[in-house]
């Protein structure tokens, strides 16, 4: 298998953490891709028309994207337990993944607005709105974190990758100062081998 990836993408990281936890990481080759909202990488577009990472090419040559679908595929391939098969547990984990991915999406859009869009065209209210999504999502995570225990699933993996991305790109938010439950949980989860092995450069 191979994954088209950017070393700093939190969504790629989510898939690689899942692969580590499922014992599949050694079966995946990484293919560098320059995902960008404007300067679109045509080699990547040829695989994923949206030009986004991650995109997984299976051993059979099928292409799977985005990160949620890739994680589900990897979990099925390994007969894993990162996604409960059915019932309330399944929906709960998938909702947590959706919330965590929403935090990451808002942070990524903020990053694009501040690092890619020309300064004269930047929209302060847009940035504030996206960062408010991050703040509201973190408040919900803070409420949930005490119940996580030692769970390792796509919900907790997605939350950990969201927090890791905030540390990497938005250290000035100092999210730990207002979210001690999430900070205590991340101190443990962020030390897992899968998280350490997938830290972005300079993080």
Tens-place pLDDT, residues 21-60: 999 999 999 999 988 888 898 999 999 999 999 999 999 9
Distance CA 90, CA 87 (A): 6
Check residue 202 and give its pLDDT: 76
CATH of domain 2-77: 3.40.30.10
Q: Tell me the whole-structure pTM to 2 decimals.
A: 0.96
How far does CA 3 lie from the centroid of its chain?
A: 14
List the beta bridge partners of residue 29: 2
Distance CA 110, CA 118 (A): 13
**Domain limits of the chain?**
2-77, 87-197
Check residue 153 and give its pLDDT: 98
CATH of domain 87-197: 1.20.1050.10
Distance CA 19, CA 27 (A): 9
Q: pLDDT under 70 in the chain at which residues?
A: 203
CA distances to 29, 78, 114, 120, 193 from 32, in Å: 10, 25, 24, 31, 23
- Nearest in space to 48 (alpha carbons), one of 34, 65, 26: 65
List helix spans (H) across the chain. Answer: 10-22, 42-45, 67-77, 87-115, 124-144, 154-169, 180-189, 193-197
């Amino acid at each position: 298998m191979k994954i088209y990836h950017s070393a700093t993408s939190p969504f790629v990281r989510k898939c690689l953490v899942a692969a580590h936890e499922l014992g599949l990481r050694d079966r995946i080759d990484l293919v560098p891709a320059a995902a960008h909202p404007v300067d679109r990488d045509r080699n990547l577009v040829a695989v994923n028309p949206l030009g986004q990472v991650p995109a997984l090419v299976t051993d059979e040559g099928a292409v799977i994207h985005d990160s949620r679908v890739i994680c589900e595929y990897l979990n099925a391939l390994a007969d894993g337990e990162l996604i409960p098969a059915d019932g309330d547990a399944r929906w709960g984990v998938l909702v947590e993944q959706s919330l965590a991915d929403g935090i990451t999406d808002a942070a990524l859009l903020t990053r694009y607005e501040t690092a890619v869009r020309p300064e004269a065209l930047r929209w302060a209210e847009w940035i504030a709105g996206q960062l408010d999504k991050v703040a509201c999502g973190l408040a919900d995570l803070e409420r949930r974190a005490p119940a996580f225990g030692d769970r390792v699933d796509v919900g907790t993996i997605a939350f950990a990758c969201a927090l890791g991305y905030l540390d990497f790109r938005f250290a000035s938010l100092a999210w730990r100062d207002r979210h001690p439950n999430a900070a205590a949980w991340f101190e443990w989860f962020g030390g897992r081998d899968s998280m350490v092995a997938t830290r972005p450069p300079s993080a």
